[in-house]
Amino acid sequence: MKILVVAPTPFFSDRGTHIRILEEALALEKLGHGITIATYHIGKDISEKVETKIDVRRIRRLLFWYKKLEAGPDWQKVILDIMLIRKVFYLARTQKPDMIHGHLHEGVLIGWIVQKALFWRKIKLVADFHGSLTGEMVSHGYLKRGLKNIFCRIEKFIDRLGDYAIASSQEGLEDVEKERRGKNCEVILDGTDLDSFDRGKSKEDLRREMEMPEGRFMVGYTGGLVGNKGIDYLLDAIPMVLECRPDAFFMIGGFPAEHVRKFVSEHKLENSVRLVSPLDYFSLPEILNVCDIAVDPKDSDVKQASGKMLNYMAAGLPVVCFDRTNNRNYLGSGGYFCGTDARGIADGILHFANHPEEIRIKGEANKMRAKEFGWDKAGKRISEIYKSIIEKK
């Protein structure tokens, strides 16, 4: 099939939303589908990192000053999305795709507008929700009460759009199911590539290559360094951990780095924290393979999945995280599930630091369990959904 993917974001950027968009597209391409991705005017060229025939089409650079790559709302995105509607309409009219695959609520709305504008083409639309639109904006401190009510209604409307809807987490599916009355919707969890984590070197050798301090207990975090990813929980937990275990060392990778860099400086943590920013997604295995455990401090307010957790699992790391349905679905018994605060994160890190044998057992269990979450499985299921809605009369 010809698939037109709508990505209302600066694709590609080294963060979770973009990883899901890219890996789904690559999995679908392997199944023989032709993929075109319509996106913003900025972002990395994926052909420099992976061998693919995916056609990335960008809007014009009219907002040439807009260079924001990190997650979060911005009023200028309204203009960019209007331009993206024009681009998607052009591509749908000229390429005649069988399917529009809209990512995020904005992408679903854009896909629906184009689908209705070209109604005689009978193009099908799959809605791919990565979390709550309103929850995301609130988590960034962007909505006041009046506007929140308006966006809640907009979100509910968009949740009902598309011939089929998929969500990246069980929490995210709940609202969609409610609006669609449980019909034509399901969870498609993120995946991971186990082969990329097999470096054929020992942890000790990798640490020497990366000039890591010797004899330290390594704790890893990779992802967005913004509030709604839970980074403040982790930062506040660091001094608590070091008070009990001065040998702990934290590898933190992601962007934007200013907030973390300021925290490290103010608390004089330079000897206990290494910040890698920006973190190249394709270098992720190198970072995680030197760690003993990993932390995922994202709470459930934004109802997003946590693809980073699968990468932790693929690296054979036990995970400290909050007690969320999605986290338990991924980890099973391979995690330390704690209350939603910095103290809980600190207690989890200290638990593993004091129980090294449990690190090995849970890490091995996570590596085995990660095999259940390959991107190829996600791609096959999405392809089945495409076929079912096209064949449906």
Within this chain, do residues 369 and 380 fall inside the same structural domain, yes or no?
no
**Residue 174 neighbours by CB distance under 10 Å:** 13
Each residue of 20-53: pLDDT tens digit?
A: 999 999 999 999 999 999 999 999 999 988 999 9
Residue range(s) defining the domain that contains residue 74: 2-191+374-391
Q: Both 37 and 53 in a single domain?
A: yes
> Do 77 and 172 sit in the same domain of this protein?
yes
Please tell me whether residues 290 and 315 are part of one structural domain: yes
Same domain for 87 and 13, yes or no, is: yes
Asked if 199 and 172 sit in the same domain, the reply is: no
Handedness of CA 97, 99, 103, 109 (dihedral sign): positive
Q: How many domains, the chain? A: 2
Three-class secondary structure assignment of 78-116: HHHHHHHHHHHHHHHHHHCCCEEEEEHHHHHHHHHHHHH
Same domain flag for 167 and 135: yes
Residue 336: name the closest of 358, 319, 353, 312 by CA.
319
**pTM for this one?**
0.88
Alpha-carbon gap, residue 102 to 162, rounded angstroms: 9
The whole-angstrom separation of Cα 29 and Cα 167 is 20
pLDDT at 42: 96
- Asked if residue 130 and residue 232 are part of one domain, the reply reads no
94-108 b/e (C-beta count within 10 Å ≥ 16 → b): eeebbbbbbbbbbbb
Residues 247, 149 share a domain: no
**166 lies in the same domain as 75:** yes
Asked if 226 contacts 72 with a C-beta cutoff of 8 angstroms, the reply is: yes
**Domain containing 305 — which CATH number?**
3.40.50.2000
What string of DSSP letters covers 274-343? EEE-S--GGGHHHHHTT-SEEEE---STT----HHHHHHHHTT--EEEE--HHHHHHHTTSEEEE-SSHH
**Do residue 171 and residue 100 come from a single domain?**
yes
- Quickly count: other Cβ atoms within 10 Å of residue 45's Cβ: 8
pLDDT (tens, 9 = 90+) of the chain, 393 residues, equals 999 999 999 999 988 899 999 999 999 999 999 999 999 999 999 998 899 999 999 999 999 999 988 877 788 999 999 999 999 999 999 999 999 999 999 999 999 999 999 999 999 999 999 988 887 777 766 766 567 888 899 999 999 999 999 999 888 899 999 999 999 999 998 988 888 888 678 888 999 999 999 999 999 999 989 888 899 999 999 999 999 999 999 999 998 999 999 999 999 999 999 999 988 998 899 899 999 999 999 886 656 667 789 999 999 999 999 998 888 988 999 999 999 999 999 999 999 999 999 999 999 999 999 988 889 999 999 999 999 999 985
Count of Cβ atoms closer than 10 Å to residue 356 Cβ: 10
Same domain for 319 and 170: no
Interior/surface letters 381-390, b for 16+ CB within 10 angstroms, e for the rest? bbbebbeebe
